[in-house]
């Protein structure tokens, strides 16, 4: 049997992105990733977590340190190896992933799974964006959710090139709003007292009874769960971003600026905004009266006034439309590859309907759970890919035959561990990172035990 007959056509027909099509990190990778972190759903809950003071329970400094650690983990553990693989091969994720999960298995993992999880993201986007739009549009938020979800799916399928042009400028909206909030609150950050807030359990809706300040480790674990869980699929997609990078330096700089710096800019600002509100007695009274809790998004009417806030909510929702379309676009591309005989309008339409149901029923509003599921799914994928890259001399081996046992065993082990806190079996700390570590260790053990299917050389072109 020749090599080509052992490989699916989607692998043999893949063509690397040529060097002539690539560009510097500051024109593609960095701004694209930064746009993800400017989405208000990411930064609004930066201060939320265990205890009445959330991630600010041990003070502003430790909250920022925890955030910095989380940002570095995203860059070095979840993004860097996928990015380098994409840069070195010029091939997309669903091809590169076949070295970890096999030529047949790669169709499902990470290809199909990447598309499937996009509908979870779309549901979160639909839910929060529609609630923001309902502040201005005199229509039920549930009706807006249906319209928003349908439009995002349709544009993602047919008009993504136009959205991409508009998306170049829309990220400026959350950046300006964050700056406005900081200007009003930064001066009172020094007066923030986490001890006082920890005693005032009523300011955090999730706290009942006497509030207990979480430990330093608990704050770090909560931050890692939220940040890494949010980023996990985007980290694996670093392969696709890497195909547009000219060299390893582009990959590294794109991540340091677009991921680490952007996370610190957006969520770091959100932490300072919340601390500033609770460091100012009048603003704190307004936050309590408005039941803003520790949510930076809900601080907008407290800091800038209700009349202006509803229009800022509207603008933040509009700025969130391109990410909704991109989620649909990524899902459509995934399904076109993995389900080539199914019309994308049908597959994406079904997925969009599920997203809308998740939004209308408010299940998508539980963003942390969504982050945990995504982290549990893609944590071990990124871990296994990293080991496969390192044990093969920092090179892509090429596709492996069939289903690569090491990859699937590593994923199953990591996913199971990451799922434990979601199904309330065991509270695994920093579950997405733990799932990554488990996937990494198990893949290494399996590789050394000979549980790697043979590499099938790509046909020469």
DSSP letters for 231-246: HHHHHHTHHHHHTTBS
| Residue in 319, 225, 240, 270 with CA at minimum distance from that of residue 79 | 240
* Contact yes or no for 352/332 (Cβ under 8 A): no
Burial of 420 (0-12, 13-18, 19+ CB in 10 A): middle
Report the C-alpha gap between 123 and 133 in whole angstroms.
Answer: 15
Predicted local distance difference test score (pLDDT) of residue 339: 75
* Contact yes or no for 129/123 (Cβ under 8 A): no
* Contact yes or no for 439/383 (Cβ under 8 A): yes
| Residue in 365, 363, 374 with CA at minimum distance from that of residue 418 | 374
Cβ–Cβ contacts within 10 Å for residue 429, how many? 14
Predicted local distance difference test score (pLDDT) of residue 203: 44
* Contact yes or no for 169/184 (Cβ under 8 A): no
Predicted local distance difference test score (pLDDT) of residue 325: 85
Taking the alpha carbons of 130, 351, 28, 43 in that order, is the dihedral positive or negative? positive
Predicted local distance difference test score (pLDDT) of residue 332: 80
Predicted local distance difference test score (pLDDT) of residue 235: 94
* Contact yes or no for 353/412 (Cβ under 8 A): no
Taking the alpha carbons of 25, 26, 27, 28 in that order, is the dihedral positive or negative? positive
* Contact yes or no for 304/184 (Cβ under 8 A): yes
* Contact yes or no for 317/177 (Cβ under 8 A): no
Predicted local distance difference test score (pLDDT) of residue 13: 82
Predicted local distance difference test score (pLDDT) of residue 204: 42
Taking the alpha carbons of 350, 356, 357, 358 in that order, is the dihedral positive or negative? positive
Report the C-alpha gap between 159 and 202 in whole angstroms.
Answer: 46
Query: Which residues is 23 bridged to in the sheet?
Result: 245
Report the C-alpha gap between 128 and 367 in whole angstroms.
Answer: 10
Predicted local distance difference test score (pLDDT) of residue 334: 77
Report the C-alpha gap between 453 and 432 in whole angstroms.
Answer: 27
Low-confidence ranges of the chain (pLDDT < 50): 1-4, 202-210
* Contact yes or no for 348/157 (Cβ under 8 A): yes
The phi and psi torsions of 276 (rounded to 5 degrees) equal -65, -40
pTM of the model: 0.91
Predicted local distance difference test score (pLDDT) of residue 23: 93
The phi and psi torsions of 280 (rounded to 5 degrees) equal -120, 120
Cβ–Cβ contacts within 10 Å for residue 322, how many? 25
Encoded tokens for 242: 């890497």
| Residue in 43, 45, 60 with CA at minimum distance from that of residue 192 | 60
Predicted local distance difference test score (pLDDT) of residue 282: 95
Which alpha helices (DSSP H) does 91-199 contain, by range?
93-96, 98-101, 113-133, 141-158, 160-167, 172-185, 194-199
> What 3-state class would DSSP assign to 320?
coil
| Residue in 222, 190, 182 with CA at minimum distance from that of residue 206 | 222
Q: What kind and span of H or E run contains 24?
A: none
Domains of the chain are 27-448 (1.10.4160.10)
Query: How many contiguous H segments (helices) and E segments (strands) does the chain have?
Result: 24, 0
């Amino acid at each position: 049997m020749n090599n080509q007959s052992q490989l699916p056509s989607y692998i043999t027909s893949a063509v690397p992105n040529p060097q002539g099509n690539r560009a510097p990190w500051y024109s593609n990778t960095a701004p694209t990733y930064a746009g993800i972190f400017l989405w208000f759903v990411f930064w609004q809950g930066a201060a939320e977590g265990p205890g009445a003071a959330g991630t600010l329970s041990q003070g502003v400094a430790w909250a920022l340190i925890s955030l910095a650690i989380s940002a570095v983990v995203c860059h070095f553990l979840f993004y860097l190896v996928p990015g380098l693989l994409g840069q070195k091969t010029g091939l997309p994720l669903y091809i590169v992933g076949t070295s970890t999960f096999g030529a047949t298995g790669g169709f499902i993992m990470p290809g199909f799974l990447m598309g499937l999880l996009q509908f979870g993201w779309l549901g979160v986007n639909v839910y929060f964006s529609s609630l923001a739009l309902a502040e201005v549009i005199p229509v039920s938020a549930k009706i807006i959710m249906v319209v928003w979800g349908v439009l995002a799916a349709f544009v993602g399928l047919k008009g993504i090139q136009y959205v991409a042009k508009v998306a170049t400028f829309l990220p400026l909206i959350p950046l300006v709003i964050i700056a406005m909030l900081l200007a009003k609150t930064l001066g009172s950050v020094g007066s923030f007292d986490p001890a006082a807030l920890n005693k005032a359990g009523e300011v955090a809706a999730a706290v009942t009874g006497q509030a207990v300040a979480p430990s330093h480790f608990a704050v770090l674990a909560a931050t890692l769960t939220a940040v890494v869980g949010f980023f996990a699929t985007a980290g694996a997609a670093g392969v696709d971003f890497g195909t547009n990078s000219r060299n390893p330096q582009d990959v590294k700089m794109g991540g340091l600026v677009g991921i680490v710096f952007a996370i610190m800019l957006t969520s770091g600002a959100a932490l300072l905004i919340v601390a500033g509100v609770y460091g100012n007695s009048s603003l704190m009274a307004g936050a309590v009266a408005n039941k803003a809790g520790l949510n930076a998004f809900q601080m907008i009417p407290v800091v800038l006034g209700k009349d202006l806030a509803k229009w800022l909510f509207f603008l933040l929702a509009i700025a969130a439309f391109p990410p909704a379309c991109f989620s649909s676009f990524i899902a459509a591309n995934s399904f076109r590859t993995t389900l080539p005989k199914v019309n994308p309008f049908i597959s994406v339409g079904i997925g969009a309907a599920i997203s809308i149901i998740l939004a209308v029923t408010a299940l998508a509003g539980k963003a942390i759970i969504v982050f945990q599921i995504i982290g549990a799914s893609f944590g071990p994928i990124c871990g296994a890919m990293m080991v496969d890259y390192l044990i093969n001399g920092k090179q892509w081996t090429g596709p492996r035959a069939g289903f690569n046992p090491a990859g699937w065993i590593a994923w199953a082990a990591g996913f199971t561990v990451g799922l434990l806190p979601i199904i309330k079996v065991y509270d695994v700390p920093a579950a997405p990172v733990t799932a990554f570590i488990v996937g990494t260790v198990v893949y290494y053990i399996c590789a050394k035990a000979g549980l790697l299917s043979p590499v099938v050389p790509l046909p020469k072109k």
